[in-house]
Amino acid sequence: MLASALRGFFLWLSHLGWVAWLALHTPLLRRVALRFVAGTTLDQAVEAVRTLNGSGAMATLDVLGESVEDRAAADRAAAAYVATIERIAAEGLDANVSLKLTQMGLDLGVESCLEIIAPVVEAGARHAIFVRIDMESAAYTDRTLEVAQRLHAQGCDVGVVLQAYLHRSLADARAMAQAGIRVRICKGAYAEPAEIAWHDRGRIGQSFVEMAKLLLEADAYPAIASHDPEMIEAVRSFVEESGIGRDRFEFQMLYGIRRDLQRALLEQGYRLRIYVPYGTEWYPYFMRRLAERPANVLFVLRSVFGERG
């Protein structure tokens, strides 16, 4: 009951443009709002990446936006990604890009999506910049993997994201490793039914570690995306015991989340990439993330107040 009410509340807030304006124009609210978003412009995102690179961290840039409903909007999103890749190359940044296929017109059909994303992967190939395809809700899993596999078969340097809470993900990880497609592992944050996803934290963690071990043993350069100290320690222990070099994987975290853990991993010599979202769509994006899983409110609060140092 409470979760449903919170979900409706956040969805209602996502449509209130004046709240977004207030957040950006009130100093205190702006600091909170932009704690997890690098800014609204590419210039601001580039500056954030420069700072991260200066601390020893890599980055992946995400131009905010999703679920476009027409070809023109999807083409604009693709053009924004091409501009981002060009800027990464021009600035010599240690960064790649992450994108969502619903932003690239996946709802218009797989063939249309492949046409729309083509300039993005071509720009990536031109500058040797990796393109990561983010995973969305389970309704898109098969189509997302199909697009990634077809692009990879064409020689494009693309990777995917797999969500540990889905029952199918271990098998998907095995298939991606065999195909040579790089995987980012995350726990998953969409509201999925128990028929296809685990809801128990312990079982999700078990799946996460199983997937990490499989990809590490396959030498598939996985990205371990977690802010959970237990998951991070489990991976660290496994690679140390197995003699797996630190150049064979990377940890990933979200911009502004658990910066104390980010610093600790860098100080310990691990490779770390920060997921850096930017763009004018930050407000509906943030509210939809909270609506999809109201428990994310607690996650954000723990991330802010749980930091040390």
Q: Which domains does the chain have, with CATH numbers?
A: 37-280 (3.20.20.220)
Q: What is the pLDDT of residue 78?
A: 98
**How confident is the model at residue 35, as a pLDDT?**
74
**What per-residue confidence (pLDDT) applies to 242?**
97
Instruction: Using only the alpha carbons of the chain, give its radius of gyration.
Output: 19
| 138-151 core/surface letters (b: 16 or more CB in 10 A; e: else) | bebbebbbebbbeb
Task: Provide the pLDDT for residue 19.
Answer: 75
Query: Is 259 tagged catalytic?
Result: no
SS3 59: strand
Look at residue 10 in the predicted model and tell me its pLDDT.
65
Q: Which helix (H) or strand (E) holds 141?
A: helix 141-153
Q: In this predicted structure, what is the pLDDT of residue 16?
A: 77
What is the model's pLDDT at position 225? 97
Q: Which of 134, 182, 258, 273 is catalytic?
A: 134
pLDDT value of position 162: 98
- Give the pLDDT score at 1: 56
Residues 6+ apart with CB under 8 A from 190: 136, 137, 138, 163, 292, 293
User: What pLDDT was estimated at residue 29?
Assistant: 62
pLDDT of residue 15: 66
Q: Is 247 a catalytic residue?
A: no
Could you tell me how far CA 29 lies from the centroid of its own chain? 24
pLDDT confidence of residue 189 = 80
pLDDT means per 10 residues, the chain with 309 residues, are: 64 70 70 78 97 98 88 97 98 98 96 98 98 96 98 97 98 98 93 93 96 98 96 97 97 91 97 94 69 63 65
* Catalytic pick among 62, 132, 182, 184: 184
